[in-house]
Amino acid sequence: MQRLTYLLGPSLRARPVLRRLAQPASAGFFRAPISTHTVPTLKDPTLLKPFPFLDNEFLVPTASQSTFTVADPVSGQTIAQVPDQGVEDVRRAISSASTAFKSFRHTTARERANLLRRWNDLVLENKEDLATIITWENGKPIADARGEVSYAASFLEWFAEEAPRVYGDTIPAGVRANRIITQRQPIGVCGLITPWNFPAAMITRKVGPALAAGCTVVIKAPGETPLTSLALAELAKRAGIPPGVLNIVTTLENTPEVGREMCSNSTVKKISFTGSTPVGKLLMRQSADTLKKLSFELGGNAPFIVFDDADLDIAVAGAVISKFRSSGQTCVCANRIFVQEGVYDEFAERLSDKVKEFRVGSGYNTNTTHGPLIHPRAVKKVHDHVEDAREAGAEVLLGGKKMEHLGMNFYEPTILTGMKTEMRLYREETFGPVAALFPFKTEKEVVELANDTDVGLAAYFFSKDYSRIWRVAEALEVGMVGINTGLISDPAAPFGGVKQSGFGREGSKYGIDEYTVVKMMTFGGIGDLQE
């Protein structure tokens, strides 16, 4: 069987490639046969842009002559060679954004809202192509990719509506003749550093409020998945967003120096970063000399609690979506699943029955429910966590092995029982398809276990007792709590954490505040009415 596809090789030009597809592997209880490792032809091939984006132009000359490889995580085959930009390139992008800010900041809120609305419409019109690109470079199933595109567009729509609602205040003055008012103004050029796990939504969740506030941006695209962000840039250009307002730097090997320049460059007034806690700390140190405004969405170690009075059908469904969405590669994925002793065995059995229904394989297969991990390092970390737990006495109820017959980045959806607090998975975020079940006895005990971590992004718990719901929700040391649900993401919801999961909020009415500064103006000498 053969299929004509497009492969972007070192020449950075699309060329047709014929190759024989892999034959299905022997069937396992959650293995989906791979029918293709290739990407279908895009309806609009001009969306595939393996070049940085500066002043509304692609194919810009770069100071660095090196490139990096964007690889299909299913097959490991090269999708594109993309310029690996460096410090001089990011300085050019910052300069472009600074020039554009001088005029863009004076556009009306309604003008900016209309730009975001047109961008939203174009994203939805090109939903299938964007989803195809996401699945190709990220590996997530096409249905999940389509969902991400809709989610990404929702932030453009949300902040199109928020742009005209950046209000100030009038404040009673302590002096009779004075009047105090406040005004929110755009902070300036913003540096945005986004991750690979949601290559569309993490862009729009940051760019949407920045542009709504009147800021301009320089985006450091994720090296693993830059093509999605560049496709979004093409649609932003078509929507009429002016040159220099949105710029994208592409880099992989030069990421440390590019990040350092964004943080230390005094023209950049704000850094927004989604990624690991150690990198967030580094960026914070690098931003100190220029006292930038920062918002960080960092690592998590989310507890997922099932009380013995929970509706187990709802709890299992919540665990499936919270733990296994994107093969466990989200920052709010459940990491430690605490189940009260009275329902522990039944919950484990029900969860196992659901996970056995999974089909793992290429994201373009219509029967695939779960795709690969992003790269071999991710597989190694997942396997190391499973082996550590197994050696310390955990039972592998399901899975627990690499799926090398599918490719180097596949790992079996796994359920571990008999987990203990001394195991690595209790302390470290796995970021993979491993559900680790810890037993507990009391409400007080499980809240202490849930809070026994340096991070605090998200938590989930399931109970029918409304008194317990209030007690536990208020006691959990996290920024977001899901109660009887495993899905908490919504453009209307403030997304962010506490402790070493960072600070600041994205989405919601609070998200735009991260890109503004408050100016106070006092009017004096008003006095009394004239006779």
Q: Look at residue 38 in the predicted model and tell me its pLDDT.
A: 56
Active site annotation includes 234: no
* Contact predicate 411/432, CB 8 Å: yes
Catalytic residue of the set 190, 215, 263, 331: 331
Q: Do 343 and 397 fall into the same domain? A: yes
Which residue range is the domain that position 385 belongs to?
A: 302-490
| Per-residue model confidence (pLDDT) at position 37 | 47
Q: Which 8-state DSSP code applies to residue 412?
A: -
What string of DSSP letters covers 422-440?
TSHHHHS---SSEEEEEEE
Q: Are residues 195 and 333 in the same domain?
A: no
Residue at which a domain ends, from 277, 297, 317? 297
Q: Is 297 a catalytic residue?
A: yes
Q: Which residue reads 């006691």 in tokens?
A: 475
437 and 311 in a common domain: yes
Whether residues 321 and 272 share a domain: the answer is no
> What distance lies between CA 162 and its chain's CA centroid?
21
Domain count, the chain: 2
Nearest alpha carbon to residue 235 among 129, 342, 144: 129
Low-confidence ranges of the chain (pLDDT < 50): 1-37
Q: What is the pLDDT of residue 26?
A: 32
Neighbours of 253 (CB within 10 A): 14
Helix%, strand%, coil% for the chain, nearest 5: 40, 25, 40
Q: Are residues 318 and 192 in the same domain?
A: no
Give me the pLDDT at residue 41, please.
85
Q: Are residues 331 and 261 in the same domain?
A: no
Q: What is the CATH number of the domain that holds 324?
A: 3.40.309.10
**155-186 confidence digits (pLDDT tens):** 999 999 999 999 999 999 999 999 999 999 99
Taking the C-alpha atoms of residue 225 and residue 239, their distance in angstroms, rounded to an integer, is 23
Q: What is the pLDDT of residue 206?
A: 98
Q: Which of 157, 261, 297, 506 is catalytic?
A: 297
Is 506 a domain residue? no
* Residues 382 and 396 grouped into a single domain: yes
Give pLDDT, residue 36.
42
